[in-house]
Amino acid sequence: MEHNIAVGLDIGTTKIVAMIGRKNEYGKVEILGIGKSKSLGVHRGVVNNITQTIQSIQQAVQEAEAAADMKIDGVTVGIAGQHIRSLQHSDYITRSNSETVIDEDDIDRLINQVHKLVMLPGEEIIHVLPQEYKVDGQAEIKEPIGMYGGRLEANFHVVVGQVSSIRNIGRCVKSAGLELEGITLEPLASANAVLSQEEKEAGVALIDIGGGTTDLAIFRDGIIRHTAVIPFGGNVISEDIKEGCSIIEKQAELLKIKFGSAWPGENKDNEIVSIPGLRGREPKEITLKNLSKIIHARVVEIIEQVYVEIKNYGHEEQKKKLIAGIVLTGGGSQLKHLKQLVEYITGMDTRIGYPNEHLAGDSDEDITSPLYATAVGLVLDGLKRQERKKVELQEEAEPEITNDQDTPVEEPEPERPKERRSFLDKLTERVKDFLDNAE
């Protein structure tokens, strides 16, 4: 596979998407091919049937390969699912010498300390995101590197997940004949695809309504502040329609997509849909008003749970207000009148998020559908990871050219932050090692 090409693999509850993308000369991303298959072995974002998941992954990948006319080797995979939770934690270190300035190593030491937190059995820390630092009691420091101080403390947003679930995903990818290049948190991937930098600065909540789960990511001042995964999504709405109208799942899904609305006031009492009966039985008649009442009840429940999380973050405090409001994305965000309902329940400005923030202008309309937000985000993440690798390789190659002067050795200093590998990179390494040794 070429260097500037990345593949995102979104293993969802309803569908598995493989998307191949590359950067064009304007720095935008062109989607070369996309493959989609029905996801059979995944429940609420967690793999529960390895064999079926492997088949679905292979099917999606083959479709993408055919569309782009190239072979896929490595993929960037998203993790979500009901096992993901997050917590706030603050920690500090005392530096032995306050006469020297704070550097990367101090921050690494502090972050590694957070890793010693005691978790529930089977859980592991996936992501540690520093929120703000304090140096010798001076608060609200965004970047402490280069400052003097004896005590360095920070507030962290810590994301925790079941390590076995993550390994299972790695196992499926490997067994499908693919290399695991990176693991990313799905709410973060979707956020990268649909949010603008201004929104992240102003404060925004991204709600990604998938089939099995609803992911939430809250940004403020350009930093991620809160993440949550709510174990409900579009599937429970279809389930309710199926139960409430006594029809089969396929019909319930079609009804939801074609005629569903989150706002019952919209439909007149006499609007009726006729559904063919099974095997020569009488057709069923369903009023659209009833249909939207069923949808409304369930959607309200999902949104209220998300809103509780937004309040937990502290949206009601003046300093933490989310000025850019809410952005809805994911397949579930295409439900008619959902935007109005969310605004009504939360009182916050809402828009539907399309993943066209970083895509080339001539991209297909299908690709810029909210359905593909996570996949586009994973492609972006894969491309970013490759760029980082390139920089690291260049840095490794550079010192060999140096002559006897001392200056060139000092040069790469500004590049230091790039070297600091994120926990997701380390997690990817660990999952890879585990899989290699487990075979």
Fold of the CATH domain 1-83+162-195+357-439? Nucleotidyltransferase; domain 5 (3.30.420)
Cβ atoms 296, 341 nearer than 8 A: yes
* SS3 of residue 390 by DSSP: helix
- For the stretch 120-145, pLDDT in tens is 898 988 888 899 999 999 988 999 99
Let me know if the fold of 1-83+162-195+357-439 is the same as that of 234-298. yes
Cβ atoms of 289 and 259 within 8 Å: the answer is: no
pLDDT tens digit sequence for 172-206: 999 999 999 999 889 999 999 999 999 999 999 99
Question: 211, 235 in Cβ contact below 8 A?
Answer: yes
Domain positions in the chain? 1-83+162-195+357-439, 234-298
What is the pairing mode between strands 74-79 and 85-94?
A: unpaired
Q: Residue 257's pLDDT is what?
A: 93
pLDDT tens for 79-120 read 888 888 889 999 999 999 989 999 999 999 999 999 888 888
d(CA 376, CA 379): 5
Residues ≥6 apart with Cβ < 8 Å to 188: 217, 224, 227, 377
Q: What pLDDT does 410 receive? A: 44
Question: Using an 8 Å Cβ cutoff, are 305 and 229 in contact?
Answer: no
| Model pLDDT, residue 2 | 63
| pLDDT digit string, tens, across residues 274-314 | 988 888 888 889 999 999 999 999 999 999 999 999 999 98
CATH topology of domain 234-298: Nucleotidyltransferase; domain 5 (3.30.420)
* The two three-digit tokens of residue 324, written as one number: 């850019």
User: What's residue 1's pLDDT?
Assistant: 60
| Percentage, residues of the chain above pLDDT 70 | 94
Mean pLDDT, rounded, of the chain: 89
Look up the pTM and report it. Answer: 0.88
Predicted confidence at residue 439, as pLDDT, reads 64
What tokens were used for 242?
């199926």
417 pLDDT more than 50:
no
pLDDT at 418 over 70: no
Least confident residue range of 70-74, 338-342, 387-391: 387-391
Q: Where are the alpha helices (DSSP H) in 246-372?
A: 249-259, 288-313, 338-346
Give the mean model confidence (pLDDT) for residues 215-233: 92
Report the distance separating Cα 193 and Cα 76, nearest Å: 14
Indicate whether 324 pLDDT > 80.
yes
Report which secondary-structure segment, H or E, holds 145: none
Name 31's Cβ contacts closer than 8 Å, sequence gap at least 6.
19, 20, 21, 359, 363, 364, 367, 376, 379
End-to-end alpha-carbon separation of the chain, Å? 25
